[in-house]
Structures are given as C-alpha cells and as structure tokens.
Amino acid sequence: MRFIPVNTPLLSGNELKYISECITTGWISSEGPFISEFENKFADYIGQDHGIAVSNGSAALDIAIKALQIGDGDEVIMPTFTIISPAQSLVTAGAIPVLVDSDLNTWNMDVNLIEAKITARTKAILVVHIYGLPVDMDPVVKLAKKYGLKIIEDAAEMHGQTYNGKMCGALGDISIFSFYPNKHITTGEGGMILTNDEAVAKRCRKLRNLCFEPDGPRFIHHELGWNYRMTNMQAALGLAQLEQINVFLEKKREMGRYYQKGLKHLTDKGFALPLVKTDYAENIYWVFGIMAPSDLAKTEIVNTLHQNKIATRPFFWCMHEQPVFQKMGLFKNEQYPNAEKMARDGFYLPSGLGLEDDDLERIVKVIADAYE
C-alpha cells in the first residue's frame, strides 16, 4: 500500500527549464532577472502595483508590519485561530495581538466581534483567510474606514481566490503570500508582499535587504531590517508555477468536489465538511478540512486513516492557548469557544496538487468502509 502524504507539489511545467537557466547563466543569488519578473507578474495577477519577493511568508509578515510602522504598544486585531506567523510578527515588533473568535461555518474570524475589540491604541486589523474561503471583508473595510485603521491581509492560503469577484491580496493596505510547497503555487520556500503604496513598497524593499540605504552610501545603516531576500532560483520556480495557476485552482476545486461527494455520509454522523461557498466566494480548498463531532471521534478517524497509510494534519492551535504567549503573560484567561473547538476537533486530509485520482478514491473508500 502506497503512503499518501498530506501534500505533494506538482512541478511538471517550466520549472526545470527556468531553474536550469539559473545554473547555466550563473544567476543564483537574489540579483537575478527572474526576481523582478516574478514580482511583476504575481503583483499583476493579483492586481497590485508593487510586489516584494522574500524568503518566506512569515518573513513577509515581519516586513509588512514594520513597513506600516506598527510597533511598541500598538494593538492589532487578528483571529486566534491561525498559524503562529502573524502573531509572532506582531509580538516581535513590540505590538499586541488582540484576538477574535472564529465563525464555525466559514472557519474564518467572526467579523461581527471585531468592533468591540477596537480601542484608542488599535492600529490595524490583520485578517487571515483560512483554508479556502476568504474572510467576509466588506464589514472589515467599513470598520477600518470608520476608525482609521490599516488592513493587513494574510493571503498565504488564497492565491487566486476572490471576494465578490475581487482578488484576495488586493482587499486591504498591504497583503502577504507564502510559496511554501503546500500552497497553491510554490517556490520551495518563499513569500511576497503586495501593496499599492509606493512609499510602503520602498520601505519593504529596504527592510528585506538589511536596511541598506538604496540612495545613501553603502554600509551605513539608519535602521535595522533583515536579510529576507528571495533567490533567483526560487523566483524561477515561482514563474513556472504562476503560468499554471488556473490549472492548479481547477484541480483543487475538483479535489474539493470529489471529497464533498464521497464524504457526504459523514455529516449524518455529526462531522462537518468545508462550506462549499458563501455569497461572496466559492471554496478553493487550500486544504480539505473536516471537523469531527468530538476529539475522540477525531482520534478514531485519524487513526483509521494512518493505519491505512493516509496522512492527516490537525487544525491550527489557537494563539491564546500557545504556551509561548502564555509564558509572556499574553491572553490570560481569554476564551474563544469556537476556535477552541476547531483546534480540538479539526484535521485535514491529503490536499496537495500532486494527489492522484486513485489516491482520492482510496481515501474516500477507507473512510466509507469505516463509517458508512
């Protein structure tokens, strides 16, 4: 029986050709020509003026937050249910993440809970689009206007997803993407910051490159940044992947439809499958998540899959329950029941672009045999 991992990337386009070009021309560092080509083409695709390619999505968040001058004592509202990256970037910048619970239908932050969290110190709302459906952005945009707040969009799982026909990553003041191998397009490791604000873009470029002064004398620094540069080889991969994004998105939706149909019987047993669509978006199934009726039921189904050599991953663990933040005295006694339930009862099935049809068939059959 073949092992089915949670993710296998698909690298069957011009990836090898463009990477070979890096080797034969000797352009392997962050100075090569593929970087700006990838930045321009990806920014164009999402519909933003400026793209700044970086070493990964978490680095992109560090830069985006610092570029917006968010720091000491500033409050930023964000979901508790997310990967740690956005919270880590805020905390290391000296800012305070202010958490919001999730909506059990869309698995995204409940935007109705944001306004109550706004104080005089709030500087921004950091939205994280989760798993396949975007955050309901209209209310967020309204609040940002009303209170003069910035919107940071973590679109690391949303390449090509739209909200009311508008691209995710073009809905706020600044957005970030990740190109980790399980994202819709990959550069191995990699990320990008997008914005329409030229001054912010210029700051991002500087922060990515150790805050060398672009116009000043070399090796004189007025500020601290990072070396978060992307290499020409990563950008070569990214370009080849971007050429295939429409095929990739359709493949993901096909996978979603197959799982939805084959696993519908689980809903009779109290399991919840991803929402197919909302009135503003259709799911792109970055990963195909499932919420079990209890953590015991989750352990059972996950064990059954593992015994059949099918990998799964648990859902994210809430920020307010992270030992590292608890130790820092953050989020003391805070509770977010929906997000806590998602973290305990949720897991996802193999969802990579490299999944074969017979893998999908086997996964659905193993679950049917155990539960139908």
- Give the binding site for ligand PLP (CB under 6 A): 56-58, 82-83, 85, 128, 154, 156-157, 178, 180, 191
Q: Give 83 or 201: the residue with its C-beta nearer to ligand PLP.
A: 83
Cα–Cα distance measured from residue 257 to residue 348, given in angstroms and rounded to the nearest whole number: 15
Q: Give 311 or 364: the residue with its C-beta nearer to ligand PLP.
A: 311
Instruction: State in angstroms the smallest separation of the CB of 261 from ligand PLP.
Output: 26
Shortest-Cβ-distance residue relative to ligand PLP: 57
Instruction: State in angstroms the smallest separation of the CB of 286 from ligand PLP.
Output: 8
- Per DSSP, the three-state class of 201 is helix
Please report where in the chains the tokens 């989760």 appear, as a residue: 130
Instruction: State in angstroms the smallest separation of the CB of 184 from ligand PLP.
Output: 11
Q: Give 150 or 159: the residue with its C-beta nearer to ligand PLP.
A: 159
Q: Encoding tokens for residue 211?
A: 């805050």
Task: Give the rounded distance of the alpha carbon of 249 from its chain centre.
Answer: 15
Cα–Cα distance measured from residue 212 to residue 214, given in angstroms and rounded to the nearest whole number: 6
Instruction: State in angstroms the smallest separation of the CB of 107 from ligand PLP.
Output: 12
Q: Give 187 or 367: the residue with its C-beta nearer to ligand PLP.
A: 187
Instruction: State in angstroms the smallest separation of the CB of 166 from ligand PLP.
Output: 19
Cβ atoms 125, 173 nearer than 8 A: no
Instruction: State in angstroms the smallest separation of the CB of 89 from ligand PLP.
Output: 9
Please report where in the chains the tokens 């073009």 appear, as a residue: 170
User: Minimal CA–CA distance to 191: which of 27, 328, 349, 54?
Assistant: 54
Instruction: State in angstroms the smallest separation of the CB of 84 from ligand PLP.
Output: 9
Cβ atoms 150, 156 nearer than 8 A: no
Beta pairing partners, 347: 290, 314
165 backbone dihedrals φ, ψ, rounded to 5°: 85, -5
Q: Give 10 or 63: the residue with its C-beta nearer to ligand PLP.
A: 63
Instruction: State in angstroms the smallest separation of the CB of 87 from ligand PLP.
Output: 10
Q: How many CB atoms lie within 10 A of CB 193?
A: 33
Cα–Cα distance measured from residue 99 to residue 101, given in angstroms and rounded to the nearest whole number: 7
Q: Give 178 or 195: the residue with its C-beta nearer to ligand PLP.
A: 178
Q: Give 127 or 266: the residue with its C-beta nearer to ligand PLP.
A: 127
Q: Give 266 or 290: the residue with its C-beta nearer to ligand PLP.
A: 290
Please report where in the chains the tokens 């819709």 appear, as a residue: 184
User: Minimal CA–CA distance to 222: which of 235, 205, 207, 237?
Assistant: 207
Pair type for strands 174-178 and 191-195: antiparallel
Pair type for strands 50-54 and 191-195: antiparallel
